[in-house]
Structure 1
Amino acid sequence: MQDFLVIIRGEERGPDSPQEMQQHLQNWQRWLHELMDAGHYIGGQNLETDGLTVLSNHTITDRPLAEGKELVAGYLVIRAANAAAVAELMKGCPSLPYGCTLEIRGIRQLH
């Protein structure tokens, strides 16, 4: 088994009403619990939209981060046999209908 980082990029649109948002959050909780129960979910968090950027010349800026689809909204750490298995698990992501994208990257172990 290997650990993978799943980068969740912004949604094109979100839930339209408070009730739909509540249902969306419940769907997320249910899905994450399914991943946990199956031993795939290692961790993850939502990210704030504001942040700092350190440039190659050592300048630190608070320039706006990417918007829309490019915004990194959060991440998951998933354990699975391979990237294809993670991709299959990610098909259940509740934010996919809202236009988010999921980037799957293997985590290299530093020795």
Structure 2
Amino acid sequence: MKEFLLIIRGGHDESEDRSPEEMQKHMQHWQQWMGGLAENGRLVGGQPLMNEGKTLTERGSKVTDRPFAEGKELVGGYLLIKADSLDHATDISKDCPGFEYNCSVEVREISPM
């Protein structure tokens, strides 16, 4: 099996308008989905990311105190999964709970070294 990185972007604007109960339900969807991936031996790892960050440009000589991204483009987290092919990883990604908050998911194969 190959490894794939799922880059999850957006959803920050929509999540701010949710009640604590809605957020709890959403987190349960994440736990169920990731739990299923783990049970099937497909989950390698993953974490949400904090909104704060630094962006380095100009060969590292310029540091900006936030990522360059609009709210809908901000990377909110990532998952590393195992799948048979890019199409298979894409199919797995279609159940991502981030879509409940209008996120996008970019699926990229990890290149062997």
Per the normalisation by structure 2, the TM-score is: 0.89
Which residue in 2 is equivalent to 1:97? 100
Aligned-pair CA distance for 1:86 = 1.0
Contact persistence 1:52–1:60 (CA under 8 A): no
Matches within 5 A, 1:31-46: 31-46=33-48
Aligned-pair CA distance for 1:16 = 1.7
Aligned-pair CA distance for 1:58 = 2.4
Would you tell me which structure has more helix in proportion to its own residues?
2
Gaps of 5+ in 1: none
Aligned-pair CA distance for 1:84 = 0.8
Aligned-pair CA distance for 1:89 = 0.9
Aligned-pair CA distance for 1:57 = 3.2
Percent of residue pairs bearing the same amino acid type? 41
Contact persistence 1:7–1:75 (CA under 8 A): yes
2: distance between equivalents of 1:34 and 1:109? 26
Matches within 5 A, 1:47-86: 47-65=49-67, 66-86=69-89
Q: Which moved more, 1:49-58 or 1:15-24?
A: 49-58
Give the aligned residue type for 2:96: C
2: distance between equivalents of 1:61 and 1:85? 38
Instruction: Give the CA RMSD over aligned residues.
Output: 1.4
Over 6 Å off, 4+ runs: none
Contact persistence 2:8–2:98 (CA under 8 A): no
Give the aligned residue type for 1:13: E
| Count of residues paired in the alignment | 110
> For residues 20-74 of structure 1, what are the alpha-carbon distances to aligned partners after superposition, in whole Å with 9 as ceiling and x for unaligned?
1000001100110000001111000111111112213321413432131210001
